Amino acid sequence: MASNNGIPEEDFKFLKIIVSEYFNARGLLVMLKVLFKDHVKEFKLSGITETIELLNALESSDAFSYKDLTLLHDAIKLTDEFSLQSKLKEKIPSFPLADKQAPVTKLTAYRQKLLKFGYCLTSRDLSKIDKSYNTPLKRYDNSWAMIRDLEHEQVITPTKMADFIKVLERIDLKSAVSILNEGCTPECQKEKEHPTNTRPIYNLPDSEYAQLLVNVSDCWSKFGDINMLKVLLCDFNRIGITEIQKEDDVFNLFRLLRSSGKLSPSNIDVIAEAAFLCGVGPIEEIIKKKIPTYQYPASMDEVHKISEYRRNVIEFGFKVEATNLKTILKLSNLSHIKETDKWRLILSLELNRKLTPKNKETFVKMLRENDMTAEVDALNTY
């Protein structure tokens, strides 16, 4: 039996096929990823290449089922794809039509706002935003790819929206600003005028940017651990681990970071967060001397550019005992590696894919079975 907002279970698999073919034919999978991001974990979302995989993931998360098609109705209303509804009704007579007057209930106001924002952007707008945030340019194929990327980079978030709007205002994207300001409360407006949780906008001249990198590199070489920095930089997929491993100069590591698009004259957050995580205190003074308004992280809550997984690996590096590390190498069939530096050994574990985000739980299980409690706790810190 179907509910008032559902269909018989035997019709549901055909519904998913029709919906998948419809959105695939229009190249709208990435748009759906933006729309449904709150309902599917990011590590699953990033690996999805077909709309039907996304629908299956939504079903697994209990956001979408044959008993409750509300999420699909909300998507049809928001995207104005009512031809899909007609197609579904034609192929599956039991399909209940969406009530155009009913409120959207399964998608947040924030997510709806991002959808409107994506639809309003032109190719020229995309180019302006790309130039504002990326060096080198990423040349986004469409607005949805850009939103996905900027959400991943923590540029677009509910708490950072005021900062993002400020950038759009500076590059004169009036329509986009108007959409993102819709429904803004007095408190929200006050936050935009006097932001408290956003970092001030800056854009260093090339000469000052180059000098900052030289000063930070020299400081790191004097007070920090280059191998710890290498482990931290493995967080960024566009920099190969082998390339990181063979580099022995801090400045050149920052050069790799810049070529990956994670570091620029208008965004040095990765350096600041890396220094904070690795305990290279003097770098804070160097950055603030060059950018007096810069908000250096004061707690782990203010670290956004470096993933929780990577922070756990750094914590593991701090806590792992030398004797335990040797045991770990043996258990990982890497006992032939004769490195003595623990950070280089951790790099070897990552290079040989013994410690990765995907197999972290297996790795932790191995540690737990060998009574390495401190190391297990470290890898589960965040």
Give the pLDDT confidence of 75-101 residue by residue, as tens digits: 999 988 888 999 999 999 999 998 888
Does residue 379 have a pLDDT over 60?
A: yes
Of the candidates 378, 246, 237, the residue with the CA atom closest to the CA atom of residue 314: 378
What pLDDT is recorded for position 4? 59
pLDDT tens digits along 257-305: 887 777 888 889 999 999 988 888 889 999 999 998 888 887 777 888 8
Task: Tally Cβ neighbours within 10 Å of residue 321.
Answer: 13
CATH number for 110-193 (one of 3.10.450, 2.60.40, 1.10.287, 1.10.533): it is 1.10.533
* Cis amide bond preceding 136, omega within 30: yes
What pLDDT is recorded for position 239? 67
Which tokens hold the place of 245?
């491993």
pLDDT tens digits along 329-355: 899 998 888 777 889 889 889 888 899
What is the mean pLDDT of the segment spanning 312-329?
A: 89
pLDDT tens digits along 237-253: 666 777 787 888 999 98
Q: Report the C-alpha gap between 54 and 122 in whole angstroms.
A: 26
Does residue 188 have a pLDDT over 60?
A: no
What is the mean pLDDT of the segment spanning 361-379?
A: 92
What pLDDT is recorded for position 185? 40
What is the mean pLDDT of the segment spanning 309-321?
A: 90
What is the mean pLDDT of the segment spanning 312-323?
A: 89
Domain boundaries, the chain: 9-107, 110-193, 212-306, 309-379
Does residue 40 have a pLDDT over 60?
A: yes
Of the candidates 308, 162, 138, the residue with the CA atom closest to the CA atom of residue 235: 308
pLDDT band at residue 362 using 50, 70 and 90 as cut-offs: very high
What is the pTM assigned to this prediction? Answer: 0.51
What is the mean pLDDT of the segment spanning 34-53?
A: 90
Mean predicted lDDT score pLDDT of the chain: 86
